[in-house]
Amino acid sequence: MSKITFLGAGSTVFAKNVLGDCMLTESLQGFELALFDIDPVRLKDSENMLNNLKQTTGSRCRIVAYSDRKEALRGAKYVVNAIQVGGYDPCTITDFEIPKKYGLRQTIGDTIGIGGIFRNLRTIPVMLDFAKDIREVCPDAWFLNYTNPMAVLTNTMITYGGVRTVGLCHSVQVCMPHLFRQLEMDTEGVQTKIAGINHMAWLLECTKDGIDLYPEIKRRAKEKQKEKHNDMVRFELMFRFGYYVTESSEHNAEYHPYFIKKNYPELIDRYNIPLDEYPRRCIRQIERWQTMRDELVNNRSLEHKRSNEYASYIFDAMETNRPFKIGGNVMNTGLITNLPKEACVEVPCLVDASGVTPTYVGDLPPQLAALNRTNINTQLLTIEAAITRKREHIYHAAMLDPHTSAELSIDDIVSLCDDLIEAHGDWLPKYN
């Protein structure tokens, strides 16, 4: 029996989407859906939920929950990763509250920035443990990474984990539909080309019947920008740099040195930036789970419609050899020619029975490549810190981070990193 293993299966809502999609995919019938999570209560919740879904969908997939990670992985053909190391309490709280003492504010803190750096540092050792198990018990498996920080973790699994990996993010799928919905434009027949790095990929082309839609996009966006809305940062970046970026304004506000500045507090209101947004979301999700649990876990009539998550479509393409196009995170093997070869990039990829084949993009517009490189610098130095266990590279990553370096002195950056290392305690390995 072929096996799909889901690591972090206690993410019940996401497990419903990804594995529910698999249950509705004909080529995946008869697969074992193997669940693993370090939280036995959440693992059982997901097992119950998926068994209810199995009954209502009539799926021939087999649901098996494992308490042993290596056994969950043994013989797997595909592995889905959706873990979060450290959770909201204590780690996310630490990532936000200690930088605040230095006057450094964040919105999401899960990609780069000081929060992204430390999320990487506590996640990479766990991911490399996964890689060790995968090399031993399912060396030919495809590893689908959904966990942030996407670029660094995907890069690490390929470069140091030796695992066939593609990183998957929702931002490419929803970029054009979200933009067009805001601007009241019709998406029917629209063709797009998107490439860059995760959370900072660019809508390079947007056409319909061969006509460039960017002039109309920018005209409508100028009007939209006259009033408060939730995408003001991205519109400003488009006006200044020429292209719309894939990830949300709350994310991009902290990827650049322009928007969150303690000496210019009026920018927060001007661009409608939601400081401390991710902790608020965590609190809401924790509260909502109390009511959602009964609706999902104990609902014997639970139904599911196939979502737009890439995973089941990737598996189907590999099983049937029917090609499917995705936006995937892969190593830059000459794909984007003015970004470093050591970087993980987000480009269109073709999936079929031979696996994931990235497509050639060439040079990005120079200003876009330059913006990407400001984030890649911090990504690569974070990997260097995690692999070498040298504290100095944590400092380097933070000192080169666009937002952190725009707000803090070198001395304060080093002190902040030291405080965060101490506060994380055993969530991090020892650094020299």
Determine, yes or no, domain membership for 255.
yes
Alpha carbons 254 and 261: distance in angstroms, whole number:
10
Q: Write down the catalytic residue from 170, 199, 229, 251.
A: 170
Distance CA 286, CA 42 (A): 13
Q: Say if 61 falls within a structural domain.
A: no
* pLDDT score at 294: 87
Question: Alpha carbon of 315 to those of 26, 63, 231, 296: distances in Å?
Answer: 11, 17, 34, 25
Number of Cβ within 10 Å of residue 48's Cβ equals 19
Alpha carbon distance 322, 206 (integer Å) = 26
What is the model's pLDDT at position 104? 98
Q: Give a yes or no: residue 189 inside a domain.
A: yes
The per-residue pLDDT for 363 is 98
d(CA 40, CA 134): 22
First vs last Cα of the chain: how many Å apart? 46
Whether residue 11 is contained in a domain is answered as no
Kindly state whether residue 197 falls inside one of the protein's structural domains: yes
* Under-50 pLDDT residues of the chain: none
Task: Judge if the upstream peptide bond of residue 149 is cis by omega within 30 degrees of 0.
Answer: yes
144 and 79 in contact (C-beta within 8 Å)? yes
Q: How many CA atoms lie within 13 A of 173 on its CB side?
A: 11
User: Which of left, alpha, beta for 33 (phi over 0: left; psi -120 to 50: alpha)?
Assistant: beta
Q: Which domain holds residue 259?
A: 171-270
d(CA 432, CA 420): 15
Backbone phi and psi for residue 9, each to the nearest 5 degrees, phi listed first: -70, -10
What is the C-alpha separation between 364 and 345, in angstroms, rounded?
A: 12
215 assigned to some structural domain: yes
In whole angstroms, what is the distance from residue 380 CA to residue 378 CA? 6
- Residue 316: the pLDDT is 98
Predicted local confidence at residue 284, as pLDDT: 95
The tokens describing 305, both together, are: 């419609």
**Per-residue CA distances from 72 to 80, 134, 146, 394 (Å):** 12, 10, 18, 34
* DSSP bridge pairs for 324: 351
**Structural domain count, the chain:** 1
Count of other CB atoms within 10 angstroms of residue 173: 17
Which DSSP symbol is given to 239?
Answer: H
Distance CA 35, CA 319 (A): 21
214 found inside a domain = yes
Q: Is position 179 within any domain?
A: yes
Eight-state DSSP code of residue 176? H
Catalytic annotation present for 229: no
pTM score: 0.98
Per residue in 247-287, pLDDT tens? 999 999 999 999 999 999 999 999 999 999 999 999 999 99
In single-letter form, the type of residue at position 338 comes to N
